[in-house]
Amino acid sequence: MIKIFKYSFSDLMRSRWSLVYLAFYLLLGFVLLFLNNDLSKGIITLMNVIVILTPMIGTIFGVMYFYNSREFTELLLAQPVKRSVIFFGQYLGVSISLSLSLIIGLGIPFLAYGLFRSGVIVNFLLLLSSGAFLTFIFVALAICIALFNTNKIKGFGYAILMWLFFAVIYDGLMLLSMMVFADYPLDNFALVASFLNPIDLSRIMILLKLDISALLGYTGALFQRFFGTNLGLIASWSMLVFWTFWPIILLIRKAQKKNF
Amino acid sequence: MLRGITIFIILSSIVFESNARSHSVCHQCDLPTLSIAVNEVSHGDTLMLEKGIYSSPGIEITKPLTLIGKPGAVLDGESKDYVLKVLSDSVFISGLEFINTGKSYTKDYAAIYIHKSSIFTLSNNLIKGSFFGILVEKSKNGQILNNRVLGNATREDQSGNGIHLWDCDSILISENKVSGMRDGIYLEFVDGSKIIKNYSHHNVRYGLHFMFSNHDQYARNKFEENGAGVAVMFSKWIRMENNRFINNWGTASYGLLLKEIYDAEVLNNTFQENTLGVYVDGSSRVNYSGNTFRQNGWAIKVSGGCYTNVFTRNNFLGNSFDVSYNSKMNDNTFNSNYWGSYAGYDLDKDGTGDVPYRPVKLFSYVVNKTPETIVLLRSLFVDIINFSEKVSPAFTPDDLVDLSPSMQVFK
């Protein structure tokens, strides 16, 4: 498995798109800090970018890589290697290379602007780790979709739709249902609803760590009480872990049965 | 200023024409304690308090006197009563340090308590660890200048106000510093007074609290990191100028609360990093001009029953929400403001944008209706609906619009 991971990892790291992705984050980080110089403000702006962009890039890369390396996968399948090993190795290759681009791309500018001397290092690590988690989650979901659809166009369509659902439509439905049921107590609904969507969950976990959380008012206070406790923290991180694992398990099971 | 000079002339004439004498008070002097000194001396005399700690719980001053403290002169209330009770006209207290008033749930123990006095001056005093700092009742034509009131209050119900005025007229409160009290400065039924250049910070409740007070002015004050900022309630004809409201940040905090205020002027103030810059509730005929709102959560939140307020030439820079409304009705005018998030253009180069600006975003309207939706703050969906509402307004008040937004920040 390590061999397959190594191969797809080095293949991806040498590819132009990983470099473009890395360069994009480098540029974003430097420009942001050059314009603002305030690390904690930079984190707020980056949060917006990360919770939308990492899932999108993860989705597109995942689908693209799977379809493009189909011939290589078929070649591997002819070898005496376990299927789960092949697919899991490829999955790790994609998601780790993307996460590395994110971490290096944002880490360098923040380090250059004195991350260790400021008090925001915990928030920054939270930002990076939720970005990495989102990458892992959405790459897994994307490869799943690609496995289920041999038709490239269909696969791409579903993948984009999946991203759109989590990033936009889900929030829309949440807003709509909250407005319809405005007469009922909604605090717990808001908590549970945002807990179930990994993008919303990461957004709120980061928001609560920043000054801006005061805007959330008493709903925010409820969230703060939940996420502030050890139970809340463990629950939210295990939610992200859960979101990472079930697509992987689905992916491996599908891969074992699929006819190539 | 003119009034200050007149008062000073009147005061000095009273002091000098009555053959006033000056006495020293110290532990080795003829007048060893303050209570003896206050009883012995005659009207209009001056007491110079030398360095030392004077035990003085509940000392009453019932005749015109001048008390001047040399550096290190301390009046100690011994934690059981008021420290000084001023019950006479024409009293001047300067340069003293007050410590240890009593604490009570039934009595308002204060370091300096002034009752039914006319023409008094409190200047350069330092008050530490008191329940109430300066408490003035039913008095007029007084000056409270350059005092410092330092407390260590942690709870509203166990602490008093720094400078507390009740039923007063024509008082000048200037250049005082108040911190760590319940309300920094509190005024109730106080008319025709000025509050100028004070610094009120880190108080448990409000930096400045106004109730039922008319024709007052507060200017060039700085209010920083108070529990809930400044509250002005149930008052008419108040002028608020050149004040700075900074960093009143918390889930139930704001820079300035205007509750039932009529005919007021809010001019050239700075609101920076408050959860709510100005919270307007049931206030009418208020002019907001030349104010700068920088990096607040909400710059202005307008609640029900606000009519004919005018907002002109204000700067709105980097606030999460510029204006928030809770209804589709609007009777207030927004004109010629600078909006940081304005994206229009100015083809004829006359300094005003050619496209009107709508300061109320759809999301702030939604949040007002259903407060729980705030959890969607900074979600992509919210940006999308804000954009579509901007293009064609359907929910936000359609007459709430700045027709001539400025292209330049007002200096």
Residues of A in contact with B294 (CB under 8 A): none
Residue-level pLDDT at B4: 58
Nearest CB neighbour to B380, from listed A167, A211, A214: A167
Residue-level pLDDT at A119: 76
Compute the nearest-CA separation of B338 from chain A (Å).
21
B378 vs A207: CB contact, 8 Å cut-off? yes
Phi–psi pair at A111, nearest 5 degrees: -65, -40
A194 vs B373: CB contact, 8 Å cut-off? no
Q: What is the mean pLDDT of chain B?
A: 89
Tokens of B186: 């509190």
Q: What is the mean pLDDT of chain A?
A: 88
pLDDT digits (tens, 9 = 90+) for B156-212: 888 899 999 999 999 999 999 999 999 999 999 999 999 999 999 999 999 999 899
Residue-level pLDDT at B29: 85
Cβ–Cβ under 8 Å, residues A106 and A46: yes
Residue-level pLDDT at B68: 94
Q: What is the pTM of this model?
A: 0.81
Residue-level pLDDT at B325: 83
B340 DSSP assignment: T
Cα separation, B239 vs B267, in Å, equals: 8
Cβ–Cβ under 8 Å, residues B80 and B46: no
Nearest CB neighbour to A216, from listed B370, B374, B382: B374
pLDDT digits (tens, 9 = 90+) for B31-50: 888 888 999 899 999 999 99
**From the CA atom positions of chain B, what is the Rg in Å?**
25
Q: Which of B265, B243, B244 is nearest to B310 (CA)?
A: B265
A203 vs B379: CB contact, 8 Å cut-off? yes
Tokens of A218: 């008493």
Residues of A in contact with B380 (CB under 8 A): 52, 167-168, 171
Beta strands in B96-138 (DSSP E): 97-99, 110-115, 118-123, 126-128, 132-137
Compute the nearest-CA separation of B377 from chain A (Å).
8
Cα separation, A64 vs A156, in Å, equals: 8
Nearest-by-CA chain A residue for B318: A41
Q: Which of A212, A250, A260 is nearest to A84 (CA)?
A: A250
pLDDT digits (tens, 9 = 90+) for B220-256: 999 999 988 899 999 999 999 999 999 888 878 899 9
Least confident of A15-24, A151-160, B228-237, B323-332: B323-332
Residues of B in contact with A211 (CB under 8 A): 249
Residue-level pLDDT at B1: 53
Residues of B with CB under 8 A from a CB of A: 249-251, 253, 275, 297-298, 320, 366, 369-382, 384-385
pLDDT digits (tens, 9 = 90+) for B121-155: 999 999 998 999 999 999 999 999 999 999 988 88
Residue-level pLDDT at A249: 93
Q: Measured between alpha carbons, how far apart are the two ends of chain A, in Å?
A: 20
B374 vs A52: CB contact, 8 Å cut-off? no
Q: Measured between alpha carbons, how far apart are the two ends of chain B, in Å?
A: 27
- SS3 at position A20: helix
Residue-level pLDDT at B369: 83
Compute the nearest-CA separation of A106 from chain B (Å).
21
> Hey, which residues 60-119 in chain A have their CB within 8 Å of chain B?
none
B167 or A206, higher pLDDT: B167
Cβ–Cβ under 8 Å, residues B182 and B233: no
A223 vs B375: CB contact, 8 Å cut-off? yes
Cβ–Cβ under 8 Å, residues B239 and B218: yes
Residue-level pLDDT at A250: 93
Residue-level pLDDT at B3: 57
Amino acid, single-letter form, for residue A46: L
Residues of A in contact with B320 (CB under 8 A): 212, 215
> What is the enclosing helix (H) or strand (E) of B323?
strand B321-325
The angle at the Cα of B194, spanning B7 to B140, to the nearest 5 degrees, equals: 50
When pLDDT is averaged across residues A91-99 and rounded to a whole number, the result is 91
Q: Which of A31, A113, A91, A56 is nearest to A23 (CA)?
A: A31
Nearest-by-CA chain A residue for B247: A211
Cβ–Cβ under 8 Å, residues B317 and B294: yes
Cβ–Cβ under 8 Å, residues A81 and A196: no
The angle at the Cα of B53, spanning B52 to B58, to the nearest 5 degrees, equals: 140
Q: Report how far apart, in Å, the C-alpha atoms of A178 and of each of A135, A149, A195, B398 are.
A: 29, 35, 15, 24
Residues of B in contact with A47 (CB under 8 A): 378
**Which numeric CATH code is attached to B1-227?**
2.160.20.10
A214 vs B373: CB contact, 8 Å cut-off? no
B379 vs A179: CB contact, 8 Å cut-off? no
ipTM of the complex: 0.84
**pLDDT tier for residue B11 given thresholds of 50, 70 and 90:** low
**pLDDT tier for residue B69 given thresholds of 50, 70 and 90:** very high
Compute the nearest-CA separation of A9 from chain B (Å).
31
Cβ–Cβ under 8 Å, residues B176 and B154: no
Cα separation, B58 vs B38, in Å, equals: 12
Cα separation, B94 vs B89, in Å, equals: 16
Nearest-by-CA chain A residue for B384: A168
B376 vs A171: CB contact, 8 Å cut-off? yes
Least confident of A204-213, B11-20, B169-178: B11-20
Compute the nearest-CA separation of A54 from chain B (Å).
13
Q: Does B18 have pLDDT greater than 60? A: no
A215 vs B249: CB contact, 8 Å cut-off? no
Q: Which of A191, A240, A164 is nearest to B376 (CA)?
A: A191
Cβ–Cβ under 8 Å, residues B68 and B46: yes
Q: Count of CB contacts below 8 A, A vs B?
A: 82
Residues of B in contact with A189 (CB under 8 A): 372
How many of the other CB atoms lie within 10 Å of CB of B359? Answer: 25
**pLDDT tier for residue B366 given thresholds of 50, 70 and 90:** confident
Q: Which of B207, B206, B217, B132 is nearest to B173 (CA)?
A: B217
Tokens of A37: 């110089």
When pLDDT is averaged across residues B66-93 and rounded to a whole number, the result is 93
Residue-level pLDDT at B409: 92
A203 vs B374: CB contact, 8 Å cut-off? no
Q: Which residues contact A40 (CB under 8 A, 6 or more apart)?
A: A118, A120, A123, A210, A211
Tokens of B410: 């007002």
Residues of A in contact with B251 (CB under 8 A): 214, 216-218, 220-221
Cα separation, A186 vs B376, in Å, equals: 13
Q: Does B17 have pLDDT greater than 80? A: no
B374 vs A215: CB contact, 8 Å cut-off? yes
pLDDT digits (tens, 9 = 90+) for B265-320: 999 999 998 989 999 999 999 999 999 999 888 999 998 788 999 999 999 998 88
Nearest-by-CA chain B residue for A172: B381
